[in-house]
Copies of this chain bind each other. A is one copy, B any other.
């Protein structure tokens, strides 16, 4: 048992017969950034998407063990997935703004939650855009299509969209991997700001990025959680040979 907001115990995940995650025990610290690293196909994305049950979309999956959010296993039968996803927001690898106006993108989550009050909506939109550090860039063009923004701006817009419904946890699957270094840096800085108010879990291919943005790092390999610990520990003095080999590039 743990006092953490979110933790997993003996968590297993199967794609049909393929055992994609094996006995994962991890504690996600509140108001910290946890990075998931590991070679391609080790199950990072699968794990991330297990945390808000986005994997449910995929047919033939099967889970075992617990993922506990606020003391409640999210895989229990009576859990409302829709509500869960509202509490555990997600940002995707490729920015995916809806082809609506900037304003409507951010307002979307509020509207589907039944918020009708105009002034409430526009206040939340402004707040979210500010939190996502994109307000200054778009405040004069909220009515324009979100598709006209640059890649980095789109990604921050998607973050704003996720923030608008006030999630407690934000999951990010390689949020900067499609961006150029400058846009990437902006996203990294944003993550650093966001952790003041949110708990963040981020998957990244880029070890350096994990090193830069996270407080805790989890190293996955072949579906197993090899090592989990403070980021500076993992990158300066990892506890296990496998981790050391991976971070120093002696792997594979």
Contacts and interface: CB of A to CB of B under 8 A. Distances in A.
A208 B181 CA distance: 11
Contacts of A151: 40
Contact of A40 (B182, B208, B251, B252): B182
Contacts of A180: 39-40, 205
Interface in A195-252: 205-208, 249, 251-252
Contacts of A55: none
A148 to B, nearest CB: 15
A25 interface: no
Interface string A147-166: 00001000000000000000
A185 interface: yes
Contacts of A251: 182
Contacts of A181: 39, 205-207, 249
A208 to B, nearest CB: 7
B249 A185 contact: yes
A252 B205 contact: no
A39 B39 CA distance: 27
Given A39-B180, A40-B182, 16 more contacts: A39-B181, A39-B182, A40-B151, A40-B180, A40-B183, A180-B205, A181-B205, A181-B206, A181-B207, A181-B249, A182-B251, A182-B252, A185-B249, A185-B252, A186-B252, A208-B208
